[in-house]
Structure 1
Amino acid sequence: MKTIKFFKANILQIAGLIAIVLTLSFTFAPGKTENRDKPEKVETVDTVYHYISSDMTSGAFAEPANWSTTDANGECGEPDPIRPCQITVPAGSTLSSVLSGKNNNAVLAISQGYKSNPE
């Protein structure tokens, strides 16, 4: 009898306690604990840029606007370092930071392959 009176008098508190227990059981489910408090891993990869300009003036090879991730301007078939063909920007870096402060010869030195004179 005392138990029934207790439940009747405290029904709202009991319902609240049940709601809290149910919420915590879903929040701390066993399958979710291994990912909690871990930063999400972001997969980063190197990016290949192709020289798409015909500009060969001083400093043109180090201009990010002259490079693109799509190759719309021929293959890397030239054996002589006339124009750069492509460069690989390491993951976590930017094209601007790789080209920054380089003259045309320095960009040619890091180029993977070369393109011929524009016609």
Structure 2
Amino acid sequence: MATDMSFVDYVLETARLGGRLTYRKLFGEYALYLDEKVVAFACDNSLFIKPSRAVASLAPELPQGPPYPGAKDYPIADELLDDPGLLRRLIEETAALMPLPKPKKKPAKTSVAGS
């Protein structure tokens, strides 16, 4: 089942991180980014936070499950949608632990034969 856009909007609104928290559609589901770092996934209308020390210290009791078939287990943060402050803090601390995205390589220039 694909995630409803209304669920993604609800997560963004609840986290109260403004334009810093964005999303990209990913195979019918969504990846959530804070300051361009992937911090969570919205899959099947559930919120999966990237596993990290932040989850272990702030919300160790979160249930675990795979966001999609074949994936490793991720903490499921649906219950934090009722606690915007903790959700925001968890997202921010998770982002602080994630590496910066790798720069995209520019395509090599091709030469035109006979020039």
TM-score for both structures, normalised by structure 2? 0.23
Quick check: which one's helix share is greater? 1
Quick check: which one's strand share is greater? 2
TM-score for both structures, normalised by structure 1? 0.23
